[in-house]
Amino acid sequence: DGGITQSPKYLFRKEGQNVTLSCEQNLNHDAMYWYRQDPGQGLRLIYYSQIVNDFQKGDIAEGYSVSREKKESFPLTVTSAQKNPTAFYLCASSRPQEIYYGYTFGSGTRLTVV
Amino acid sequence: RKEVEQDPGPFNVPEGATVAFNCTYSNSASQSFFWYRQDCRKEPKLLMSVYSSGNEDGRFTAQLNRASQYISLLIRDSKLSDSATYLCVVNFGMDSSYKLIFGSGTRLLVRP
């Protein structure tokens, strides 16, 4: 079955550490996205990528970095520069030319700073 | 003005009730519209796309009013399992049509 896999499901980070969240899809989607969701709030766009080796900043990119070396993979690194990283992180993918199908989401990674 | 605005609720209704959610969007060039459902601590899942002529899927009816830049979702005969947060979602516009903007969501609680 096609889908998006995010790992790990839960992640604990110490102050000053960088951590990388994994996102892999086998839907053959060109576009991939990273969102952050804080409790009781909506989704905020961190980074997105339409094609391999290209990505753009979203609304809250500071303190985060991404890479898109393969179509299937779009990992997100939360750096020590992100001052408040505790949140629910969601990866999504889509076919830009078929946006009327919406996005497919992974099951998310819950990141907690300890 | 927010790009996509929703009443946060919560809407607290008894089983069997009919409930309606509204959403307004700011970009008149938007072409694609959706309602997503998000359960507590889970990822959003597509509930239904919204078409210009309005569309229905079982107990759920979605309407679009382009002139007023307004989208609605009607749930008839509410079930306990309908309790969730409903997200109104709109594409960014012609230049970045692949980008979706999510509203903050409307929380629905269906009580026995």
Q: For testing the chain A interface, which of B33, B43, B47, B94 should be mutated: the one with the most A CBs within 10 Å? A: B43
- B14: pLDDT confidence band, cut at 50, 70 and 90? very high
SS3 track for chain B: CCCEEECCCCEEEECCCCEEEEEEECCCCCCCEEEEEECCCCCCEEEEEECCCCEEECCEEEEEECCCCEEEEEECCCCHHHCEEEEEEEECCCCCCCCEEECCCEEEEEEC
Question: Measured between CA atoms, how close is A18 to chain B, in angstroms?
Answer: 24
Inter-chain touch A88–B41, beta carbons under 8 Å? yes
Q: Which of B2, B96, B98 to mutate to test the interface with A (most CBs of A within 10 A)?
A: B98
In this prediction, residue B50 carries a pLDDT of 93
8-state DSSP, A106: -
Confidence band of B93 (pLDDT split at 50, 70, 90): low
* pLDDT of amino acid A101: 82
| Average pLDDT of the residues in A23-50 | 93
- 3-class DSSP state of A63: coil
- Please compute the mean of the pLDDT values over residues B79-106 and round it to a whole number: 86
